[in-house]
A = this chain, B = another copy of it.
Amino acid sequence: MVTLAEVAQHAGVSASTVSYVLSGKRSISGATRQRVEQSIRELGYHPNAGARALASSKSNIIALMIPLRTDMYVPVMMEIAIAVATTARTHGYDVLLLTGEEGPDAVRRVTGSGLADAMILMDVQLDDERLPLLRGTDQPSVLIGLPADTSGLTCVDLDFKATGALCVEHLAMLGHRDIAVIGEAPAVYERHTGFAERTLDGLRLRSQELGMRLLHRPCEGGYDAMAVTLARILDERPSTTGFVVQNESAVEPLLALLRQQGRAVPEDVSVVGICPDQVATQASVRLTSVSIPAQEMGRHAVEQLVAKLDGRGSDEVLLITPELTVRASTGPAPSPTH
């Protein structure tokens, strides 16, 4: 491995000069800079990460904690992770991948060892056991998701409450009065995952305000589970004409089942999805949906973090405004007469 010292020698300057060329923290004459840069190129020099971290107390690494569960839509996680990684790179950071498995210990380990300069947490529970640790350290962090108490924390998330409201409003506008919500798997609610509960809040509140009836049923993904759930819903509330689906792996099964039962979408029933655009556009009926801006969330999280690391930025909650795209799965409610 070629070292700073070797570059310095090759360029006929001192080591510190090379360092300053690299960091730009002191002014260097054009001639010297060029000579040094030339040497760096010729020798194929790459600064040693460990030495750098030791001397500067900065690792230039951002830790990203992803959940290892797979009961929530995985592509969203992946898209966030990729957005985090690419955005981090544009700011000169690399990303360390941590799974939720280690839990709070991972936070301790990373902060304690200086492995990373900052961290991003995904899959935040309303009352997450990692939060006290984050509050108790001076290491910057950003949550993707919203816990119950956001004081002293920086968070980025879709405004799921507004998302719920938006879905209800769209269906209300079309004349629907009885709505059923196909939710995430029961485990997601038991775990008190913020986004699921907030969506539900938004749905309930707005439907109440608009005088609509709302039925919420958690649902494991897949065809069989969806069949059972749908049967129960139609049994309990046959007048249901609008569906809101928040479980991506229930979308296609729902559409298939409705078709199979002779209920036309959108003539007889309307369906609104809360899912990535890709799912909405690839479904057998192009789905009216509120999209999950995974990329945007990942990007914002990194940018907040970098701002903090640069001494700018502060603790604040950034809620992304949901947008509903009308596609082919929603239409006017059928008149009750026929």
Residues of A within 8 A of B (CB): 1, 44-54, 57, 59, 61, 64, 66, 68, 70, 74-75, 77-79, 81-82, 85-86, 89, 94-99, 101-102, 108-109, 112-115, 221-223, 249, 252-253, 256, 259-260, 278, 281-284
CB distance from A150 to the nearest CB of B (A): 27
- When distances are taken between beta carbons in the complex, the residues of chain B under 8 Å from A49 are 50, 53, 59, 113-115
* Chain B residue at minimal CB-CB distance from A45: B112
- When distances are taken between beta carbons in the complex, the residues of chain B under 8 Å from A99 are 82, 85-86, 89
- When distances are taken between beta carbons in the complex, the residues of chain B under 8 Å from A256 are 252, 256, 259, 284
- When distances are taken between beta carbons in the complex, the residues of chain B under 8 Å from A259 are 256, 260
Chosen A-B contacts, 28 in total, with CB atoms closer than 8 Å, are: A44-B112, A46-B112, A46-B113, A48-B54, A48-B113, A48-B114, A49-B53, A49-B113, A50-B50, A50-B53, A50-B114, A53-B53, A74-B74, A81-B81, A85-B98, A86-B99, A86-B101, A89-B99, A89-B102, A94-B97, A94-B98, A95-B96, A96-B96, A222-B281, A222-B282, A223-B282, A252-B256, A253-B282
Q: State in angstroms the CA–CA spacing of A94 and B49 once bound together.
A: 15
B78 touches A74 (CB 8 A): yes
CB distance from A67 to the nearest CB of B (A): 9
- When distances are taken between beta carbons in the complex, the residues of chain B under 8 Å from A77 are 78
- When distances are taken between beta carbons in the complex, the residues of chain B under 8 Å from A75 are 70, 74-75, 78
Given known contacts A47-B113, A50-B54, A94 and B94 CB-to-CB distance under 8 angstroms: no
A1 touches B114 (CB 8 A): yes
- When distances are taken between beta carbons in the complex, the residues of chain B under 8 Å from A47 are 113
Q: State in angstroms the CA–CA spacing of A95 and B99 once bound together.
A: 10
**B85, B112, B281: the one within 8 Å of A97 (CB):** B85
- When distances are taken between beta carbons in the complex, the residues of chain B under 8 Å from A112 are 1, 44-46
**B101, B249, B252, B278: the one within 8 Å of A89 (CB):** B101
Q: State in angstroms the CA–CA spacing of A109 and B92 once bound together.
A: 12
Given known contacts A54-B51, A95-B97, A284-B256, A70 and B79 CB-to-CB distance under 8 angstroms: yes
Q: State in angstroms the CA–CA spacing of A47 and B115 once bound together.
A: 10
Q: State in angstroms the CA–CA spacing of A19 and B77 once bound together.
A: 39
- When distances are taken between beta carbons in the complex, the residues of chain B under 8 Å from A114 are 1, 48-50
CB distance from A1 to the nearest CB of B (A): 7
Given known contacts A74-B75, A252-B252, A221 and B282 CB-to-CB distance under 8 angstroms: yes
- When distances are taken between beta carbons in the complex, the residues of chain B under 8 Å from A82 are 66, 68, 99
